[in-house]
Amino acid sequence: MLGVIYAILFYIATAIIVVGVAMRVRTYARTPAPLKIPTTPAPTTGWGVFWRMVREVLLFQSLYKSNKWIWLFGWMMHMSLWLILARHMRYFIFESYWWIDAVQFVGTYASFTFLFGLGGLLIRRFAVERIRYISSPSDVLMLLLLIGIGASGSLMRFVTHTDIVSVKAFMLGLSRFHVGHLPSDPVLLVHLALVITLMIIFPISKLMHAPGVFFSPSRNQIDNSRDKRHLAPWAAELEK
């Protein structure tokens, strides 16, 4: 019964995050940028923009310029998240790959840096007057949700181990549209329920910053306005 409920929820959540994000991304991609507005100094070539984007996405360059504390907490949290996600890959595929095995160790301890970063961000939301002012309930809830996921996950890894082999079998079953048995371990159920929640709200929340950053004209445009004419389709209509 539990397995069926979670299976259905996982299918719904997967559909929502995949279709939802795809639709948002399609909207961003199709919306024209009528003017050249890179924040300068900006790269003058496509490769230059690629590297600017890499520095933004992997190093959080602009955030680093802005505020070292937000950068430290935010960067730790995001990089830990990548490691944790990579580590989790082995629960969804039958045969693990070498790189998944390789991140098992760091991925395990990344949960501490993940929670540390989130804790720092949460404290800042309340402790710094300016950030308290701009925070909505959803901003706090989002952090709590991630903390909940991280904490329940760590709990299963370090304190009360769940039957991970059954969990893996359940997940592999889902990928073949076969609903198997899911251990009724409460920590596991909380962990999975929070992950499902995260997947569902992804496309309708500020989590869209993840794909959104790639579409930011001030970051992804090439500074070549004197060399190549830039014209949006609707603006071209004005010239007729």
Partner 1 sequence: MPDGAEEFRKMQHALDVPCLKPGAMEGVQPFKAKPEHQEKVGMPGELIPDWKEKALEKMAELGEKNRAFKVYLDTCVKCGACTDKCHYFLGTGDPKNMPVARQDLLRSVYRRYFTFAGKYFPWLVGARDLTEDVLEEWYSYYHQCSECRRCSVFCPYGIDTAEITMAAREILDTVGVGQKYSNEIIGKVKEVGNNLGLNPKALRATLEDLEEDLEEDTGLAVRLPLDEKGADILLITPSADFFAEPHIDGLLGYAKVFHEAGVSWTISSYASEAANFGLFIGSYENMREISLRIRKAAEDLGVKRIVFGECGHAWRVAYSFLDTLAGPFDFLDQKYPIPQHILEFTWDEIQKGTLKFDKSKNDDIRLTYHDSCNVARASRMGDMPGGQFEIPRNVIKAVCNNYFDMDPDTIKESTLCCGGGGGLLTDDLMDLRIKGSSPRMTALQDVTEEHGVTHMAAICAICKTQFSKVMPKFGYEMDSVVSVHQLVSNAIILTGSNDGESAEEETSDE
Site of interaction with partner 1 (CB under 8 A): 24, 27-28, 31-37, 39-44, 56, 60, 62-63, 65-67, 70, 74, 121, 124, 128-131, 133-139, 141, 201, 204-206, 208-209, 212-213, 215-219, 223, 225-226, 229-232, 234-235, 238
Nearer to partner 1, 95 or 129 (CB): 129
Instruction: Find the shortest distance in angstroms from Cβ 102 to partner 1.
Output: 29
Exposure of 133 by Cβ count < 10 A (0-12 exposed, 13-18 middle, 19+ buried)?
exposed
Instruction: Find the shortest distance in angstroms from Cβ 238 to partner 1.
Output: 7
Q: Pick the closest to residue 185 from 150, 157, 143 (CA basis).
A: 157
Nearer to partner 1, 154 or 221 (CB): 221
Instruction: Find the shortest distance in angstroms from Cβ 25 to partner 1.
Output: 11
Nearer to partner 1, 1 or 134 (CB): 134
Nearer to partner 1, 176 or 228 (CB): 228
Q: Which two tokens stand for residue 175?
A: 């990928």
Instruction: Find the shortest distance in angstroms from Cβ 27 to partner 1.
Output: 7
Q: How many CB atoms lie within 10 A of CB 52?
A: 20
Nearer to partner 1, 143 or 151 (CB): 143
Nearer to partner 1, 53 or 155 (CB): 53
Instruction: Find the shortest distance in angstroms from Cβ 211 to partner 1.
Output: 9
Instruction: Find the shortest distance in angstroms from Cβ 227 to partner 1.
Output: 9
